[in-house]
Amino acid sequence: MRAYDAKKGYSWSSDLFYLKGGRTTGMAVSGSTVFVAGYYGVAGSGEEEVFLRSYDAKGKGLKVDSYTGAPMAGLYPNGVKALGSKVVAFSNYESAPGVVWGSIAGFSAKTGAYLWEADYGESWQNLISSQVNDITVSGSSVAVVGYQQTADGYKWFNVSLYSAVNGSFGSAWGARGNGVGNEALAVSWTGSIIGAAGYVTDGSGNRYARAVRIIAKGKGAGMTILEDFDLGYGENRFTTVAVDKSQVYAGGQGIGDGGRQMSFIRAYDAKTTDFLWGDTFDLAGLGGSVTTGLAAAKAGVYMAGYSLSAPGVTDWFTMAYNLGGGVKWRQDLNPFNQDTNKALGVAAASSAIVAVGQYKNNDGKLKGAVQAYAP
């Protein structure tokens, strides 16, 4: 765990801890505590243990280290989100080959103590599999997105709400599409607006990037499909989403002309659900573009990912757009002309835009990287 001042850079780091071949997969900040989630053990070994560690935000050290066994957990998403006193982690495990079960769990923001756990999917739904891909906390609720598979084999694009206080089920919205593969991959929640994004398939196996807007309660409550987006070749997905008070933004990638994989971003009016603007790009014209993060702030919307700059070589990119869709700036990273340079996430604040990821140095060693940009 490493901490940085948004303007000055490195601040402090934790002691190293042994992952036994595993990964850290998510982090969240709540008040004076930082939470880090991940898993110990080699992915797919059946011996993984999902962990949640908490640290004092001022660098005074480890507060809590909790973990639980979850077979094959490293093959599936897990992470943590926090807001105020609410801390919720999510994970998935295999009960049989290909049979996945997702769950969420609440923890104390002060002590890191375990408080409650809930399955992703209710018993009355008669599910045969379910997977959590992302969560977000707002007020006293947590929105959970992923897929829920019913006995007919169909996977539903699903958004569910649970209590962030005790894990009780609230409500859910889903869409099956006309094909068996449908999945929500990302969620964002601001004010009364929830944005969720992923993909749906048709009966011929074509995949469309789907974005939805949800009003959780009150006047106009319900889910509206914003768009099923296709670059024309039936292989598209939204992988990230961000919401501000006026717009819903969704980013992802798909196959375009010449078989090139291209990144795209789409913006919608959060109230009317009208499409506002979009951008599709392939930085060097070689394909291989992947979108990994999206963040919205007052000064604009920011997108992170990576794209081929030469055969077998990827460059990290961070793109900045104004709220009307104009490109403000783009920053690339490949300091030693090596492969695998990737921006893997981005966050926005009033004073800085921060992207995190990896690059290879001149010796071919993989390094972690943090870059801060002026908005």
What pLDDT, in 10s, does the model give residues 238-255?
Answer: 999 999 999 999 999 999
What is d(CA 100, CA 104) in angstroms, rounded to the nearest whole number?
14
| C-alpha 175: how far from chain center | 20
Query: Please, are residues 160 and 214 in contact by the beta-carbon 8 Å criterion?
Result: no
- Triad 289, 294, 299: Cα angle to 5°: 125
Distance separating alpha carbons of residues 78 and 50, to the nearest angstrom: 8
Residue 179: predicted pLDDT: 86
- Torsion on CA atoms 20, 306, 243, 189, rounded to nearest 10: -10
pLDDT of residue 29: 93
Q: pTM of the entire structure?
A: 0.96
Instruction: For residue 117, list its beta bridge partners.
Output: 105
**Phi, psi of 125, deg, nearest 5:** -80, -10
CB contact at 8 A, 251 and 303 = yes
Q: What is the pLDDT of residue 90?
A: 98
Cα–Cα dist 277/51, whole Å: 40
SS3 letters across the chain? CEEEECCCEEEEECCCCCCCCCEEEEEEEECCEEEEEEEECCCCCCCCEEEEEEEECCCCCEEEEEEEECCCHHHCCCEEEEECCEEEEEEEEEEECCEEEEEEEEEECCCCCEEEEEECCCHHHCCCEEEEEEEEEECCEEEEEEEEECCCCCEEEEEEEEECCCCCEEEEEEECCCCCCCEEEEEEEECCEEEEEEEEECCCCCEEEEEEEEECCCCCCEEEEEEEECCCCCEEEEEEEEECCCEEEEEEEEECHHHCEEEEEEEEECCCCCEEEEEEECCCCCCCCEEEEEEEECCEEEEEEEEEEECCEEEEEEEEECCCCCEEEEEEECCCCCCCCEEEEEEECCCCEEEEEEEECCCCCEEEEEEEECC
Q: State which residues of the chain have pLDDT below 50.
A: none
Report the pLDDT value the prediction gives residue 60, as an integer from 0 to 100: 93
pLDDT at 231: 98
What's the pLDDT score for residue 6?
Answer: 82
Residue 344: per-residue pLDDT: 97
pLDDT in tens, 263-320: 999 999 999 999 999 999 999 999 999 999 999 999 999 999 999 999 999 999 999 9
CA distance 161 to 170: 5
CB burial class (10 A; 0-12, 13-18, 19+) of residue 151? exposed
Token pair in block for residue 213:
């807007």
> What is the reported pLDDT for 351?
86
